[in-house]
Amino acid sequence: MSKAFLSGNEAFAEGVRLAKPHVISAYPITPQTIVVERLSEMVEDKSLKSEFIHVESEHSALSCAMGASAIGARAFTATSSQGLLYMAECLQYASGGRFPIVMMNANRSTALPWNIYGDQRDSISQLDCGWIQVYVEDAQESLDMAIQSFFIAEHEKVSTPVMVNLDGFVLTHTYEAVEIPSQEQADKFLPPFKTGNRMDFDNPKNMAFSAGPDSNMEFKLQQHKAMLDSKSVIELADKSFAEIFGRSYGGLIDTYKTDDAEYILITLGSITGLVREVVDELRAEGRKVGLVKLRYLRPFPDKELAEAVKNAKAVGTLEKDISFGYEGTVYTNVNSALIKNGIAIPSYNFIAGLGGRDISKKDIIHMFEHIEKGGEYVNFIGLGVNADE
Amino acid sequence: MIKPSLKSYIKPQKLSEYPIGTVYEAGHLVTKNAGWRTVRPVMDMDKCSGCFQCYMYCPDGVIFKEGKSVSVDYDFCKGCGICAKICKLNVISMEAEKR
């Protein structure tokens, strides 16, 4: 084990090195570029024995990763924003084909207007593509989830690709002290990838076949069930990781001071750190506030979330996303979880940080006040204009 | 080329009987596939010299060697006509399917 001063991208690359993928295929895009730059350097200096394949597009990057996975190789790719959207066709091929690829996505705004800064609209627009989606908060969690994601994706009960989301720039490009585990620890945690779902001369298979109306739905149900089953594997991964590395992230969700909280803000990604600080400040003033960090959006932690907020008087959902014509998609998912679990409390939506706009401490204090006092359900935070003009 | 044999399809009764993902034993054919053929290759074997060019060029692998001669597997031939085009001795003619 060693300690280093790393950005989110660099920390993720260190995690990938420890997971030792056989194949890395990627196409550069801001703000993902550095993760694949570091990996290509590792391959060049032979500290990572991996086939690094330069491809001509993101569509090819994921197609290539699928080809690698189809011969039983551990495969990694990374992208962001428009690159993820260009991959969209292949995302569903990878999940339907049950190829346990791991991908890092640097969360970035989508065009138009063109913008390279962070928000979560790219990955959230792909919630239905059949990939497990995890959102990380800091550089250490980035490194750790790079390793854990292969464990989850490749587990025989799951066999589903995993997308790890890092907020563009605010996480991918900011530096923190990060613990780098030893290769022995990583090898102890992550078993070699084994699958019967592969091309093999001794046991030839037809792969990526079609299934008509008489059997297609069964394949989709099977995919859905595997995603639901992944919940127990995610919890197992967190527990087993904690035993070996000494760090636990709580599995599907993380909670902060929710036990006696009356007003709870639900977050995902890097903004969680600032919200935690605001919770401490408001607690010091005697206000009973708390925080739920959604670590996974798919599978959605509905029961876990409901359990965490069941005694609250009201909740709010903070997300860097808007589903035009309705509300934030995370908010829609949160409300569905509350209703299904019989929790009838006011629930508010805070849409912030689109296109990289800063979310300040003052904004978060304002959100907690809104949850407590009530008001509009869907709110755009930090606008530079009066929305009612 | 090994002539494919059709296997009977037993519809799974439980979800667990489906393969995990889209992968299964190679060559497990359960349906014939020639329904869209509008013309079929017909061979006049008296003219055939046994050069096997049709066998080599068939994109679907449905032309089979039978000793020094060839035959077509009509269960899988799509009627593309490449065999007729490649045959220098005009052994193969494409004839309309009668329904």
Token pair in block for residue A368: 């907690």
- Is there a domain that residue B68 lies in? yes
A198 contact residues in B (CB cutoff 8 A): 23
Q: How many angstroms separate the CA atoms of A354 and A85, rounded?
A: 17
pLDDT at B28: 86
B21 contact residues in A (CB cutoff 8 A): 96-99, 159, 197
Write the burial class of residue A81 (CB in 10 Å: 0-12 exposed, 13-18 middle, 19+ buried).
buried
Chain B residue nearest residue A221, CA to CA: B15
Measured from the Cβ of residue A55, the count of other Cβ atoms closer than 10 Å reads 16
- Count the helix, strand and coil residues of chain B and give each as a percent rounded to the nearest 5: 15, 25, 60
Q: For the segment B17-64, what is each residue's pLDDT rounded down to a tens digit?
A: 999 999 998 888 888 888 889 999 999 999 999 999 999 999 988 999
Spatial CA neighbour of A101 closest among A217, A219, A195, A216: A195
Chain A residue nearest residue B23, CA to CA: A207
Where do the CATH 3.40.50.920 domains begin and end in chain A?
A: 254-380
Q: How many angstroms separate the CA atoms of A117 and A354, rounded?
A: 9
Domain of B65, in residue numbers: 15-96
Where do the CATH 3.40.50.970 domains begin and end in chain A?
A: 2-245
- Is there a domain that residue B70 lies in? yes
Q: How many angstroms separate the CA atoms of A277 and A270, rounded?
A: 13
Nearest by CB to B18, which of A99, A197, A218? A218
- Is there a domain that residue B9 lies in? no
Mean pLDDT across the stretch B76-98?
95
Token pair in block for residue A29: 């895009």
Element (H, E) at A25: strand A23-26
- Residue A28 sits at φ, ψ, to 5 deg, of -75, 140
CATH number of B82's domain: 3.30.70.20
- Is there a domain that residue B8 lies in? no
B28 contact residues in A (CB cutoff 8 A): 206
pTM score of the predicted model:
0.92
Q: Which segments in chain A show pLDDT lower than 70?
A: 388-389
Nearest by CB to B23, which of A197, A218, A225? A197
Identify the CATH number of the domain defined by range A2-245: 3.40.50.970
Q: Do B25 and A205 touch (CB under 8 A)?
A: yes
pLDDT at B1: 56
Number of domains comprising chain B:
1
- Is there a domain that residue B54 lies in? yes
Identify the CATH number of the domain defined by range A254-380: 3.40.50.920
Torsion over CA: A271, A82, A299, A11 (sign): negative
Q: For the segment A283-298, what is each residue's pLDDT rounded down to a tens digit?
A: 999 999 999 999 999 9
- Is there a domain that residue B59 lies in? yes
Q: How many angstroms separate the CA atoms of A312 and A305, rounded?
A: 12
Q: How many angstroms separate the CA atoms of A334 and A243, rounded?
A: 31
pLDDT bracket for residue B2 (50, 70, 90): low
- Is there a domain that residue B3 lies in? no
